[in-house]
Amino acid sequence: MTLRLELVLGDITAEDVDAIVNAANHTLLGGGGVDGAIHRAAGPELVEYCRTLGGCETGEATITPGFNLTARWVIHTVGPVWHGGGHGEPELLASCYRESLARADEVEAETVAFPAISTGVFGYPIEAATAIAIETVRSTPTNVSEVRFVAFNQETVDAYQSILDLSTGTDL
């Protein structure tokens, strides 16, 4: 089965997909950026559920219900904080995408939306992060049929697009 990739500009909390991915922190108890937006949209039951999970390591992913979200599931993954790139950041970021797809497969989610993990407060350079996102999703065996990259601003759209423009013979 071919995996279809899409790129959209918008707020991931509004995406009508089976699972949305949250760029969470270790505690899984909410934070700023996309994490805060997802918790606000999902409602207080999400943090109550997350409290029972005992956190999540960098590069790992864990799944919860979506509660008030349109999406049935939220896959919480903890991206690396950027410390210059020599501290395993690329491998850890790739692991976030692989592990998130693995969680999606476990619940048979077919459509998954990803934010640009680590590129906000965690400071990962956007071009490098979007390259890893696309390459990892393309190279990971999965039953997911559609991955939607949700960019929150035009700079992020442009970063994904420039990576896609570099790949020859493949549509987004």
Nearest distance from residue 131's CB to ligand ADP, in Å? Answer: 14
3-state secondary structure of 2: coil
Return the H-helix or E-strand segment holding 169: none
| Residues 6 or more apart in contact with residue 88 via CB below 8 angstroms | 80
Answer yes or no: are the C-beta atoms of 117 and 129 closer than 8 Å.
Answer: yes
Whether 165 is catalytic: no
**What is the token pair recorded at 57?**
């390591």
In the shown chain, the binding pattern of residues 9 to 48 toward ligand ADP, with x for contact by CB under 6 A and - for none, equals --xxx---------x---------xxx-x-----------
Identify which range of 51-59, 84-92, 145-153, 157-165 contacts ligand ADP by CB under 6 A: 145-153
Q: How many residues does the chain have?
A: 172
Nearest distance from residue 74's CB to ligand ADP, in Å? Answer: 12
Residues 49-108 that bind ligand ADP (CB under 6 A): 79
Please identify which residue in the block is written with the tokens 């559920």.
49
Residues in contact with ligand ADP by the rule CB under 6 A: 11-13, 23, 33-35, 37, 79, 115-122, 150, 152-153, 156
